[in-house]
C-alpha cells in the first residue's frame, strides 16, 4: 500500500493548518419531497419494496418520454431564492452520459451549462456565534440514480461481492445539487465551516418544505472537496473529492482527515492525486475511489426530449413572496420572543433544542421553563445516553404537562425530576407516573403536621430553640419531614407549618 491509500503518516492537525491553507468545495445533493419523480408519474416513497416505484421512464425503456415535474421546478426555485441566487430566465436539461447499472438510460438527466439558479450566498453560523459567508456557484436540477446492492462483499462494497442487485425505485427521484465556489479563508476552522454549511442547508430545506432532509435516509448527501496550498495567496492546490458523506459529524471528520493526509503527502514532496475518495465511518479515514480529471468526458449535450424551462418572472416573484421564514431569521425572532440572551440561544441551537423548546412553549410552558428542562436534566440524560436530544423518549407535550404539574403545586422541582425519570423509562405521561409512583406533593396538612410533631419530639433541643424564637435550626426539622414524606412535601409549606406550630404553643 502507498501513502495515498493509507495516509500512513498523518500530520498533526494543528501543525497542518499552521503550515497549509485549506480550501473547500462542497456539493450537496438534496432529494426533493415531491409525490412523484422528476420526469414521470412514478411515485416516490422511502423504503418501498425494490423495483415497485417504477415506470418505463424511470427504467429508461425505449420510446419512453420524460415530462418535467412542475413541483420539483418550484422547489428548485425556492432553494435558489433562499440561497440568494439569480433564477435563470431560461434553462435546459442536459444528458450526462455514463455507463453504470444504476442508471438504466446510460445517462443522467441533469443540468450542465444552464443551471436553474446561480451566483448566490448563504451565511453560516458557527458554534461560537461568528458568521461565515459561503458563496454559491450554482444550484441545478437533476435526477437521482438507482441503487446497486452488492451481495457477499465486505461492508456492501462491490469488491469481493458474489453478485449485485439493482433497485430502480430511487432512479428518477428529483434532486437539486448545490455547488459552492471555493471556500477559502476558513483556516483551522475549515472542518467546522463544512459541517455548519451542510447543517445550514439541511435546516433550510426543512424550513422551505422541499424535503424531509433526513441525513440517515440519504435525503441529503455531501461531496466534500479539499485542497491545501502553502499560503492564502498561492494558487489552489490539487483537490480530492470525498463522496457521499452523510452525517454532519462525518463531514467535519472527513475534512479534518483529508487536511492531515494531504499535508503529509506535501511534506514528503509527493503530489496529491486528483481523485474521488470513499469515507469510512468506522475508522474515520478516506480511501481512493476513482481518478477524476476536471474534464471528465461525460459528453454532455442538451436533452432533446425536454423543452427548456422558462419560469415567468411573475411566478418567481410569487414564489419569493411566499418563502417561509428561514432558520436564521426565525432564530433571531425566537430569541427576542423568548427573552434568551445571545449565549443562551447559541447553546440552544448547538444542542439542537430549538424545535423542542418551541413545541414545549406551544404546549404551555414558559420559555424559561422549557429551556430549563431541555438544556438541564434532559441535556444531561442525552449526553449520558449518547443520543441527540430529539431522540429521547419524551415529547414537548409531556414536558409541558410536567411543568404544569409543578406550576399548580402538584409537584416540587425535585419530585418533577423523579416524574421525568419515569416518563423517560417509558412509564407513561407525567400524570400517569405521578399516580403510579405516588409522587404528588403531600399537601394535606394532616400528615404534614403529624410528621412535624414527630420531628419536634425527636429533636427536643432544636424544638426548644425554635420555640425560643431562633429559627436558625428549622432546616433540621424540615429535613426530617421531607425524609418522612419521601421528599413529597413542599419545603416552603413545611417551614410555614413549623413556625405556626411552635407559635401555637
**Which residues bind to Mn ion, rule: CB under 5 A?**
177
User: How far is Cα 425 from Cα 394, in angstroms, rounded to an integer?
Assistant: 9
Nearer to Mn ion, 21 or 177 (CB): 177
Which residue, 177 or 303, is less far from Mn ion as judged by CB?
177
Residue for cell digits 414545549? 360
* Residues paired with residue 89 on neighbouring β-strands, in sequence order: none
Contact in structure between 298 and 97 (CB atoms under 8 Å) = yes
| DSSP characters over 43-97 | B--TTPPTT-S--HHHHT-TT------HHHHHHHHHHHHHTTPEEPSSB--EEEE
- For every residue of 406-444, DSSP letters joined together read HHTTSS-HHHHHHHHHHHHTT--SHHHHHHHHT-S----
To Mn ion, the closest distance from the beta carbon of 29 in angstroms equals 6
Closer to Mn ion by Cβ: residue 167 or 241: 241
Please, where are the H alpha helices in 157-308?
190-208, 248-267
Closer to Mn ion at the Cβ: 29 or 261? Answer: 29
* Angle value at C-alpha 29, between 94 and 145, nearest 5 degrees: 60
* Pairwise CA distance, residues 64 & 58, whole Å: 9
Cβ proximity to Mn ion, 99 vs 163, nearer residue: 99
Residue nearest to Mn ion (CB): 177
For residues 167 and 177, which CB has a smaller minimum distance to Mn ion in the complex? 177
Q: How far is the CB of 75 from Mn ion (least distance, A)?
A: 16
CB of 223 to Mn ion, least distance (A): 8
* Helix spans in 189-341 (H): 190-208, 248-267, 313-321, 327-338
**Residue 244, SS3?**
strand
Among 152, 143, 151, 177, CA closest to 59: 143
Q: DSSP secondary structure string, 144-155?
A: ---EEEEESSGG
Q: With contact defined as beta carbons under 8 Å apart, do 186 and 24 qualify?
A: yes
> Nearest CA to 116 among 174, 194, 155?
174
Least distance in Å: CB of 142 to Mn ion? 5
Output 301 or 492, the one with its CB closest to Mn ion. Answer: 301
CB 189 within 8 A of CB 90: no
Q: What SS3 class is residue 360?
A: helix
Measured from the CB atom, the residue of 177 and 203 that comes closer to Mn ion is: 177
Rounded to the nearest whole angstrom, what is the least distance from the CB of residue 178 to Mn ion in the complex? 10
Name the residue nearer to Mn ion (CB basis): 223 or 275: 223
The order of strands in the sheet holding 94-97 is 107-110, 94-97, 301-302
CB of 66 to Mn ion, least distance (A): 17
Nearer of residues 244 and 397 to Mn ion, judged by Cβ: 244
Residue that the C-alpha cell 455514463 belongs to: 98
Cβ-based nearer residue to Mn ion, 251 or 316: 251
Amino acid at each position: 500500500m502507498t501513502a495515498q491509500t493509507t495516509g500512513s503518516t498523518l500530520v498533526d492537525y494543528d501543525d497542518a493548518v499552521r503550515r497549509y491553507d485549506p480550501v473547500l468545495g462542497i456539493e450537496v445533493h438534496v432529494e426533493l419531497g415531491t409525490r412523484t419523480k422528476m420526469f414521470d408519474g412514478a411515485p416516490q416513497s422511502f423504503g418501498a419494496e425494490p423495483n415497485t416505484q417504477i415506470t418505463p421512464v424511470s427504467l429508461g425503456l425505449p420510446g419512453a418520454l420524460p415530462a418535467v415535474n412542475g413541483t420539483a421546478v418550484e422547489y428548485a426555485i425556492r432553494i435558489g431564492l433562499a440561497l440568494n441566487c439569480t433564477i435563470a430566465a431560461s434553462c435546459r436539461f442536459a444528458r450526462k452520459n455514463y455507463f453504470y447499472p444504476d442508471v438504466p438510460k446510460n445517462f443522467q438527466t441533469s443540468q450542465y451549462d444552464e443551471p436553474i439558479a446561480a451566483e448566490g450566498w448563504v451565511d453560516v453560523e458557527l458554534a461560537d456565534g461568528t458568521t461565515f459567508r459561503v458563496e454559491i456557484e450554482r444550484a441545478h436540477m437533476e435526477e437521482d440514480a438507482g441503487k446497486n446492492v452488492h451481495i457477499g462483499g465486505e461492508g456492501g462494497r462491490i469488491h469481493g461481492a458474489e453478485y449485485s442487485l439493482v433497485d430502480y425505485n430511487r432512479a428518477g427521484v428529483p434532486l437539486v445539487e448545490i455547488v459552492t465556489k471555493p471556500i477559502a479563508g476558513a483556516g483551522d476552522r475549515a472542518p467546522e465551516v463544512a459541517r455548519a454549511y451542510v447543517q445550514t442547508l439541511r435546516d433550510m430545506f426543512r424550513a422551505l418544505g422541499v424535503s424531509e432532509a433526513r441525513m440517515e435516509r440519504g435525503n441529503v448527501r455531501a461531496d466534500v472537496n479539499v485542497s491545501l496550498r502553502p499560503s492564502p495567496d498561492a494558487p489552489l492546490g490539487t483537490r480530492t473529492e470525498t463522496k457521499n458523506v452523510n452525517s454532519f459529524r462525518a463531514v467535519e471528520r472527513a475534512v479534518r482527515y483529508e487536511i492531515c493526509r494531504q499535508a503529509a503527502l506535501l511534506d514528503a514532496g509527493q503530489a496529491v492525486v486528483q481523485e474521488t475518495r470513499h469515507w469510512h465511518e468506522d475508522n474515520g479515514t478516506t480511501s481512493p475511489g476513482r481518478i477524476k480529471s476536471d474534464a471528465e468526458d461525460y459528453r454532455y449535450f442538451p436533452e432533446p426530449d425536454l423543452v427548456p424551462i422558462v419560469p415567468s418572472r411573475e411566478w418567481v416573484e410569487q414564489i419569493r413572496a411566499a418563502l417561509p421564514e428561514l432558520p436564521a431569521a426565525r432564530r433571531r425572532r425566537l430569541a427576542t420572543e423568548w427573552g434568551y440572551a445571545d449565549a443562551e440561544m447559541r447553546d440552544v441551537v448547538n444542542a439542537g433544542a430549538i424545535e423542542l423548546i418551541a413545541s414545549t412553549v406551544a404546549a404551555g410552558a414558559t420559555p424559561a421553563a422549557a429551556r430549563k428542562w431541555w438544556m438541564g436534566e434532559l441535556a444531561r440524560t442525552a449526553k449520558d445516553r449518547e443520543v441527540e436530544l430529539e431522540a429521547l423518549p419524551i415529547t414537548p407535550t409531556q414536558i409541558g404537562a410536567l411543568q404544569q404539574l409543578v406550576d399548580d403545586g402538584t409537584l416540587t422541582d425535585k419530585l418533577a425530576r423523579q416524574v421525568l425519570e419515569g416518563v423517560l423509562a417509558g412509564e407513561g405521561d407525567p400524570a400517569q407516573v405521578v399516580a403510579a409512583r405516588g409522587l404528588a406533593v403531600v399537601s394535606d396538612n394532616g400528615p404534614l403536621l403529624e410528621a412535624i410533631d414527630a420531628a419536634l419530639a425527636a429533636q427536643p433541643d432544636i424544638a426548644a430553640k425554635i420555640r425560643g424564637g431562633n429559627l436558625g435550626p428549622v432546616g433540621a426539622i424540615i429535613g426530617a419531614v421531607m425524609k418522612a414524606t419521601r421528599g413529597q412535601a413542599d419545603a416552603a409549606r413545611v417551614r410555614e407549618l413549623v413556625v405556626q406550630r411552635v407559635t401555637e404553643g
